[in-house]
Structure 1
Amino acid sequence: MSEQDKSCELSKRVIAGMKFERCGTSAWCPTSLDAATYPRDYHCDMLSADDNRLISAPVKRPVRILDVGTGPGILAGELAKRFPDADVIGLDVFSNPPAEFPETCEYQSGNIEEPWEFETGGAL
């Protein structure tokens, strides 16, 4: 068990036949296929509301991109396509990446509300 797993008590529950998990007191996140169809729709809605911009930062060629609360990695995957020379890291509280997480991105487990370090050694 990793140090991150020890510092985060993972809770699970089933609501209306859909599986959800949360770390400590964080929000409940869908983990079943039925509930996990929601992130793609939400991502598309947010893009539409922001003139189809993936990022708002005034950066032409980012070197490293951190997607906090990456979930299934929809945004991380699109950022990796848009910026192929950038290192894209998806961060979420769950120990293992979802099966659909993009191979072009790195997944790291961590809780942004607690101190943590990148697995590559650099502290955030």
Structure 2
Amino acid sequence: MARIWVERYTGSGVPFEYWGHSPTPRPEDRNLVPRNMLKVAVASFTFRFVCVEQIRDCLSYYEQQTHPSSRLSINGGDHWEFERWFERPPMYLLEDAKRTKVVKALRKALAVAEAGAFAEVLPFG
């Protein structure tokens, strides 16, 4: 059974590319405006999300049974390669039984997020 909850964002564990979807786009301002983080604990792993787009990206990755190469080339060279953040969690999450649990939990988390989980006001502290 997956556990989904919302916490106040404390400043760690969020890929930089998703800060553009926030009300405070500058990284140096990210702690000035209180924000929420949606956490999803499933299959002995906890995912952390700060926006709906991040959940959608992760869900689309885990919905695929077969994945292409996880390395992306930058500037066409083979020395500048990187992995996307959702490809870094433990490989056991891609096993069929665990992957179906992850997909089910992420779909539920997407519904929670689209219902306004990031917009709700949490008590500070």
TM-score bracket, normalised by the shorter chain, equals under 0.3
- Larger strand percent: 1
Relative to the length of structure 1, the TM-score reads 0.25
Higher helix share: 2
